Structure 1
């Protein structure tokens, strides 16, 4: 039994790696079968002989709350969907806040994590593969120390709307905001901007943004603190923005519309730009401003992928113009990896030449790059700027 201060217990029965859980046919909440019909919220209990029914809701409130406190996360959710009264009862418990992430790329999933169980994740997935009579069903998988518990619900043709309603329901029951959302279609942009004022992480995939108006709505209405990923946009190539994107980490694919002014006026710590149209003199300006310390004080990592219309040596010389740099040493302590979006780690490329700048705060900024050749002879440049400090 979990202490009341914790509020969420892990499932009692774990299952070894990649094997189906025995929970598929039976839940701890009740012994009756629950089916998911006619979309979200349409849970009904099939008629069963009275001897098979368990009158949980008839318990005194104190006893009922103690029972609910010891349910698994997915069991709590299913219990709260039984009726309005069950939902209100579930909300009375002071649950440990959940980390909630809605993923709307196929398959559509809601990912739930609890900080007191770092190696456990609960996933609600809208699935198209099973016959409707088999829903809902459960499976658990273990990979290394991590255990994933799945609740599969039927994909009824409108899973986007169902997932939105389910997400809202979970947020209400557990008193937890959505921490992250990935957006696979344009209609979700308006919903998330109205649903809650701020998110930690947002991913918007390729071709979701198809107009300047939609991009402006994203930049103006979505408030993101930690990480923003913007996929390729299908808008006028003459369009540009000069205002900063306020998230701590930004990663933009096909970023021709992001200007030097946007970068210089921002407070981003990590910037990754693919398909950029920043000129070498723009990159030179970024380095000078960082070195002086008047702007870009928070910058820790900058990556710019672009096309160079001149030879590699001329391009490099223009980037390094009037910068007081020194040659870097592979043994000087510079980290060889960088943590992207605050979670996953990427190994930086090994290069022969590294130039170092020293900023006004004593930080070191390492400059290095890689080149490639396109089929039409154009030069592809990937420029890196990594900020770090020597360990005394």
Structure 2
């Protein structure tokens, strides 16, 4: 039920300054609901300066869509525009939108609910971004399809934060759209597997990138990456590849790199082979045991919510040709008495003029 229909109050007939004061005292969802009444209502809303900056985040699930509005001035408050199959869906279909709120401990959530409709979802994203005059900050997709990714690309030129959190496989056509056309500026997290036909010629050029299924990411894609923070899980690289990465960085060929993390699992190395594997990684490298240094950062931000702790114990340092320091560590995970089940390679760059 829309705001005006529910109240039956002739809001638009109020004197101009009184009308503006009334609208300024509405919450974010009430402002959205009011702006949908007419073109005039939208024009009025756009003339109001919102005193508390907001961020717009999207979550696209298999069975529904959500638009989140958050403001640092209201911690613990979330305003959500929800498209989905809810209990009151019959009421919504007859009378339009519906406002609700829910108190969950110290958190409070406000809801503006609509029937499931992809086209109207797209319209409302653009409408909300327009009336509040802020871009979309974050997009999360459960099951990526070409149509959904194309929709996201059409909304604005670039997206600061993008994530695919579902486990379904990304088809070749969709993967190409994500890697070739999408402009992601801050962080990207891709949990899904990729089609066997997709080739990782180059990685997404964003500040932070995490791939949960990196078994098909080749060494060359990592060496040519421009990411500051790069995290790859389920990789199939070798200890010799780690050696190549360290040498490549030492020569100044990965100038943007701040932190690299590569995880390998479901591979078995015999404990008796441990020394041979280390020799492959350390071959022809000048390094020394890492010593604590107060100049070195202990944590890095991956995105708005995730903080990474830098390796300290059992780590080694190498010096780059530009004077920066690279601290690396290899952690092996033991399984049984005679073999390892996986490992994590970490490499933190610090101490240079640009770090």
TM-score for both structures, normalised by structure 2: 0.83
| Residue deviations 1:111-146 (CA, integer Å, cap 9, x gap) | 212355566442333465544459431224563xxx
| Residue deviations 1:330-370 (CA, integer Å, cap 9, x gap) | x434544332225322445674x211112234332111122
Aligned residue runs from structure 1 range 32-43, under 5 A: 34=1
Aligned residue runs from structure 1 range 106-145, under 5 A: 108-114=65-71, 116-117=73-74, 120-126=77-83, 128=85, 130-132=87-89, 133=91, 135-141=98-104, 143=106
Partner of 1:344: 306
- In the TM superposition, residue 244 of structure 1 has moved relative to its aligned partner by 3.6
Aligned residue runs from structure 1 range 21-100, under 5 A: 34=1, 45=5, 53-95=8-50, 97-100=53-56
- In the TM superposition, residue 184 of structure 1 has moved relative to its aligned partner by 1.8
Aligned residue runs from structure 1 range 288-367, under 5 A: 288-293=247-252, 295-307=253-265, 310=269, 311-329=273-291, 331-333=292-294, 334-347=296-309, 351=313, 353-367=314-328
Contact kept in structure 2, 1:365 and 1:388, CA below 8 Å: yes
Q: Which moved more, 1:171-180 or 1:127-136?
A: 127-136
SS in structure 1 of the partner of residue 234 of structure 2? strand
Partner of 1:283: 242
- In the TM superposition, residue 64 of structure 1 has moved relative to its aligned partner by 1.8
Distance in 2 (alpha carbons) for counterparts of 1:259 and 1:87 = 50
Partner of 1:8: none
Partner of 1:9: none
2:137 aligned with 1:179: yes
CA distance 1:342–1:290, shift in 2 (3 Å): farther
Give the count of matched residue pairs. 336
| Residue deviations 1:245-264 (CA, integer Å, cap 9, x gap) | 21010000111232222222
Distance in 1 (alpha carbons) for counterparts of 2:324 and 2:80 = 42
- In the TM superposition, residue 207 of structure 1 has moved relative to its aligned partner by 4.2
Structure 1 unpaired stretches of 5+: 1-33, 36-42, 47-51
- In the TM superposition, residue 54 of structure 1 has moved relative to its aligned partner by 2.0
Contact kept in structure 1, 2:332 and 2:344, CA below 8 Å: yes
- In the TM superposition, residue 100 of structure 1 has moved relative to its aligned partner by 0.7
Contact kept in structure 1, 2:175 and 2:194, CA below 8 Å: no
SS in structure 1 of the partner of residue 31 of structure 2? helix
Contact kept in structure 1, 2:141 and 2:166, CA below 8 Å: no
- In the TM superposition, residue 318 of structure 1 has moved relative to its aligned partner by 1.3
Structure richer in helix, relative to its length: 2
2:183 aligned with 1:226: no
- In the TM superposition, residue 60 of structure 1 has moved relative to its aligned partner by 2.8
Partner of 2:221: 262
Distance in 1 (alpha carbons) for counterparts of 2:70 and 2:332 = 41
